[in-house]
Homo-oligomer: A and B are copies of this chain.
Amino acid sequence: MDTAFAPRYYEENRHRILEDYFNLLKIPTVGAEERHLGDCARAAAWLKAWLRPLGFECEIFTPDEGLPVPVLFAERNTGAATTVLFYGHYDVQPPDPLELWETQPFMPTLKEDGRVYARGAQDDKGQFFSFLNGMRALIEQGGPLPNLKIVLEGEEENGSMALFNLLPKLAERLQADVLLVCDTAAAPEDRPAIVAGLRGVQHFTLELKGPDYDLHSGAHGGLAPNPAQGIAELVASLHRPDGGIAVEGFEDGVCPPSPEELKLAAEGEPSPEAYERETGVAPVGGEAGVSTVERGCFRPTIEVNGIHSGYAGAGSKTIIPSKAFAKISIRLVPDQSTRHVFECIERHVKAHCPKGMTASIAELHLGAPGFRLNVNAPIFHIAAEELRKLDGRGAVFHWEGASIPVVSELRRVSGGAPLLVGFGQEKDKIHSPNESFGLDQFRRGMTWATLILDALGR
């Protein structure tokens, strides 16, 4: 496959491609929020309508349990020898804090820097949709293609519950040789990266209850236990002073990286200086004395995504707040067990609950474990060859710190060899205000789709 094919197709169909992309971005598919259920249903229907003219048979599954966020399954059987299962997610992170956005999060804006600004511009709408546009180019051209199966879900950012529940039922229809995902980052400076591992994820809300109502902090200071201070103590207790995890048993089963993995992973890492230029902080999080590659790729973490209690306005409000909570997520590595990790957390919370208050855990998603792949797998050889066509520097292997919780389960159920290649960059600011995706990255995603699907279809 000629690497110029996709860019040419893009130029010839630019208007239509961007119109579709923008229309998809305009749907505020915050899968975690009940009030956006209708938007998720609209997005699933929109994607179905987009795929059907390309010869896909589509089915939308709306779960009976949990939030009814629909899952779209699409299939295009050409009798080829190879079957590819492509996974993506149309849901996005909540856009807040809204006041930090320079444009409206669901009003995609193409700026002069050649980047599209919107929530989901990259994660994952931009990434999976660039891939689907490359696929469309191939289909319209009429060349040989593998059998194609597509799963697009709407709860990736919130635990993928619907899809998890659906997998046993869909198992037979999901059988595939390769499991393709376009939801990860490239290496710094756009160098292609093949993901050789993902961390798992688990999240929950830690709640702390104190007085029945906010108390006057003068009259009650020194008497009433204070949940704002309590949540600080409880959250702080999760780590040791050296930054390591203090939860007993949490790291049971953690499998250290091999020397080969460590060496390969280091190739794709930004330098500490580049990291600080990009993010504004030195990479000094996590456990002291452990290398950045290990901390970013091969170690589990407990991250506080939010902590809230009491007054947040201007000046002062002298209260002992009644309640406090923290939003916590955990990244897991092989071979930690999600259930065991959560049991350790539960025990820790119980043991460290500050005096006079009640701690509880809500909104638990047990999540999925992490995985690491054999870097010598045949599919990686094919991918590396195609990626060298895309970029003369060739691909690096990357052990992603982030998670796509359902991928390990999809892998197990489908039997497909996972191939995760994406074109994200740190500057895309996914999960943050002013998320964006460069149209150059979008075109790379398209090109990658034409290269790999052509290679697997021959």
Interface centre among A310, A315, A403, A430 (most CB of B within 10 A): A315
Contact B315 A363 (CB under 8 A): yes
What 0/1 pattern do residues 266 to 303 of A give for CB contact below 8 A with B?
00000000010001111111110000100110010101
Tell me, yes or no, whether A82 is within 8 Å of chain B by CB.
Answer: no
Tell me, yes or no, whether A348 is within 8 Å of chain B by CB.
Answer: no
Contact B296 A223 (CB under 8 A): yes
Q: How far is the CB of A156 from chain B (nearest CB, A)?
A: 11
Count residues on chain A whose CB falls below 8 Å from chain B CBs: 98
Question: What is the bound-complex CA distance between A303 and B94, given in angstroms?
Answer: 32
Q: List 6 A-B contacts (CB under 8 A).
A: A219-B401, A220-B401, A229-B304, A233-B239, A285-B356, A312-B327
Contact A318 B215 (CB under 8 A): no
Contact of A356 among B100, B225, B282, B305 (CB under 8 A): B282
Tell me, yes or no, whether A188 is within 8 Å of chain B by CB.
Answer: no
Tell me, yes or no, whether A159 is within 8 Å of chain B by CB.
Answer: yes
Contact of A401 among B32, B211, B222, B321 (CB under 8 A): B222
Contact B220 A285 (CB under 8 A): yes
Interface centre among A214, A326, A430 (most CB of B within 10 A): A214
Contact B236 A232 (CB under 8 A): yes
Question: What is the bound-complex CA distance between A433 and B215, given in angstroms?
Answer: 10
Question: What is the bound-complex CA distance between A185 and B215, given in angstroms?
Answer: 14
**Which residue on B lies nearest to A295, using beta carbons?**
B222
**Which residue on B lies nearest to A200, using beta carbons?**
B218
**Which residue on B lies nearest to A292, using beta carbons?**
B223
A403 cross-chain contacts in B, Cβ below 8 A: 218
Contact of A185 among B219, B279, B304, B433 (CB under 8 A): B219
Contact of A221 among B232, B292, B321, B331 (CB under 8 A): B331
A203 cross-chain contacts in B, Cβ below 8 A: 316, 318
Contact A429 B213 (CB under 8 A): yes
A311 cross-chain contacts in B, Cβ below 8 A: 94, 96, 305-306, 327
Tell me, yes or no, whether A76 is within 8 Å of chain B by CB.
Answer: no
A356 cross-chain contacts in B, Cβ below 8 A: 281-282, 284-285
A186 cross-chain contacts in B, Cβ below 8 A: none
Top 7 nearest A-B pairs by Cβ distance?
A: A218-B402, A212-B280, A32-B315, A306-B310, A222-B286, A222-B295, A232-B235
Q: How far is the CB of A296 from chain B (nearest CB, A)?
A: 5
A237 cross-chain contacts in B, Cβ below 8 A: 236
A32 cross-chain contacts in B, Cβ below 8 A: 313-317
Contact A401 B316 (CB under 8 A): no
A199 cross-chain contacts in B, Cβ below 8 A: 218, 221
Contact A321 B309 (CB under 8 A): no
Q: How far is the CB of A237 from chain B (nearest CB, A)?
A: 8
Contact B312 A211 (CB under 8 A): no
Contact of A310 among B292, B304, B320, B402 (CB under 8 A): B304
A400 cross-chain contacts in B, Cβ below 8 A: 218-219
- Those of A238-288 within 8 Å (CB) of chain B: 238-239, 243, 275, 279-287
What 0/1 pattern do residues 9 to 26 of A give for CB contact below 8 A with B?
000000000000000000
Tell me, yes or no, whether A372 is within 8 Å of chain B by CB.
Answer: no
Tell me, yes or no, whether A353 is within 8 Å of chain B by CB.
Answer: no
Contact A220 B279 (CB under 8 A): yes
Q: How far is the CB of A248 from chain B (nearest CB, A)?
A: 17
A284 cross-chain contacts in B, Cβ below 8 A: 225, 355-356
Tell me, yes or no, whether A440 is within 8 Å of chain B by CB.
Answer: no
